[in-house]
Structure 1
Amino acid sequence: MTDATDMAAVRVDAPGTSATARLLAEAARAVDAPDLVLAVSRGGVRTVHTGGSAAPGPVPRELLTYELGSASKPYAGLLLARLVAQGRVRYEDRAADLLAPGLPVHPAVRRITLRHLLTHTSGLPGLPADFYPQAVPRWSTGPYGGYPADRVVRAFLRARPRRRPGTRWRYSNFAVSVLGHTLAAATGTPWEVLLHQQVLAPLGLDATRVRPGPDGTDAVGRRRDGTPVPALDTGGFTAAGAVRATPLDLLTFLEAHVGGPEPRDPALNAALTEVTRPLLRRGLRHAHTHTLTWFQHPSPYGRVLFHAGATLGQQAFLGFRPDSGLAVAATATRRVHRGDTFVATAYGLLTETP
Structure 2
Amino acid sequence: MRGRPTPWPGGDPSDDDGAAPVPETAEETAALRERLAAAVDACDAPDVVFAVSRHGRRTLHSGGTAPPPDVPREDLRYEIGSASKAFAGLLLARLIRRGVLTGGEPAAACLDPGRRVGPAPATLAHLITHTSGLPALPADFFGRALPAWRTNPYARYPAERLTDAFLRHGTRHRPGTRWHYSNYGVSLLGHAVAAATGTAWEDLLTGQVLRPLGLRGTALHAEDPKTDATGHRKDGRTPVPAFDAGGFQAAGAVRSTPHDLLAFLEAHLDPAGSPAAGALRAVRVPVLRRGAGHRHVHTVAWFRHPADGGPLYFHSGATLGQQAFLGFRPDTGTALAAVCTRRFRARDPFVATAYAFLATG
TM-score, normalized by length of structure 2?
Answer: 0.90
Answering whether residue 150 of structure 2 is matched by residue 143 of structure 1, we say no
Amino acid at match of 2:210: L
- 1:81 corresponds, among 93, 100, 116, to 93
Deviates more, 1:91-100 or 1:332-341: 91-100
CA distance in 2, matches of 1:35, 1:285: 37
Distance 1:349 1:178 in 2: 33
The whole-number CA distance in structure 2 between the counterparts of 1:259 and 1:114 is 27
Q: Secondary structure at the match of 2:96?
A: helix
1:280 aligns with 2:288: yes
* Distance across 2 between alignment mates of 1:187 and 1:235: 21
Partner of 2:60: 48
CA contact (8 A) 2:41 2:63 kept: no
Residues 280-311 of structure 1: CA deviation (Å, up to 9, x unaligned): 00144343210111001111232100000000
Could you tell me which of 197, 206, 214 is aligned with 2:207?
Answer: 197
Dislocated runs of 4+, deviation >4 Å: none
Q: Which residue of 2 aligns with 1:321?
A: 329
- 1:112 is aligned to 122
Q: Does 1:293 align with 2:293?
A: no
How many angstroms apart in 1 are the aligned matches of 2:243 and 2:279? 29
What's the offset of the Cα at 1:184? 0.7
| More contact order relative to length (CA 8 Å, sep ≥ 6) | 2
CA distance in 2 between counterparts of 1:283 and 1:66 reads 34
Matched ranges for 1:56-95 at <5 A: 56-95=68-107
Aligned equivalent of 2:310: 302
- Paired residue total: 334
**Distance in 2 of aligned mates of 1:49 and 1:223:** 23
How much does 1:240 deviate?
0.4
Q: 2:267 aligns with which of 256, 265, 271?
A: 256
Unaligned runs of 5+ in 1: 1-15
Task: Classify 1:261/1:40 alpha carbon distance in 2 versus 1 (closer, same or farther; 3 Å).
Answer: farther
Whether contact under 8 Å (1:258, 1:323) holds in the other structure is no
**Quick one: which of 231, 236, 242 aligns to 2:247?**
236
Q: Which position in structure 1 is the counterpart of 2:44?
A: 32
Provide the residue aligned with 1:3 in structure 2. Answer: none
The equivalent of 1:5 in structure 2 is: none
Matched-pair contact (CA < 8 Å) for 1:123–1:170: yes
Q: Distance in 2 between matches of 1:161 and 1:178?
A: 12
Single out whichever of 222-231 and 153-162 deviates more from structure 2: 153-162
Separation in structure 2 between the aligned mates of residue 335 and residue 133 of structure 1, nearest angstrom: 22
- The letter for the 1-side match of 2:243 is L
Q: Which moved more, 1:118-127 or 1:211-220?
A: 211-220
One-letter amino acid matched to 2:131: T
Secondary structure at the counterpart of residue 204 of structure 2: helix
Contact 2:183 2:251 (C-alpha < 8 Å) held by counterparts: yes
After TM superposition, the structure 1 = structure 2 runs for residues 13-28 of structure 1, keeping only pairs within 5 Å, are: 18-28=30-40
**Corresponding residue for residue 25 of structure 2:** none
Q: Distance in 2 between matches of 1:69 and 1:168?
A: 24
**1:331 pairs with 312, 336, 339, which one?**
339
SS in 1 for 2:131: coil
1:130 CA drift (Å): 1.2
Q: Distance in 2 between matches of 1:99 and 1:85?
A: 22
Q: Would the aligned equivalents of 1:232 and 1:312 in 2 still touch at CA under 8 Å?
A: yes
Rounded Cα–Cα distance in structure 2 between residues aligned with 1:251 and 1:167: 35
**Paired position in structure 1 for 2:218:** 208
Kindly provide the CA deviation profile for residues 208-230 of structure 1, in whole angstroms up to 9, marking residues without a partner as x.
Answer: 00000223010000012211000
Where does structure 2 lack aligned partners over 5 or more consecutive residues?
1-27
One-letter code aligned to 1:26:
A
Q: Which amino acid aligns with 1:184?
A: A
Percent identical pairs in the alignment equals: 58
CA distance in 1, matches of 2:304, 2:258: 22
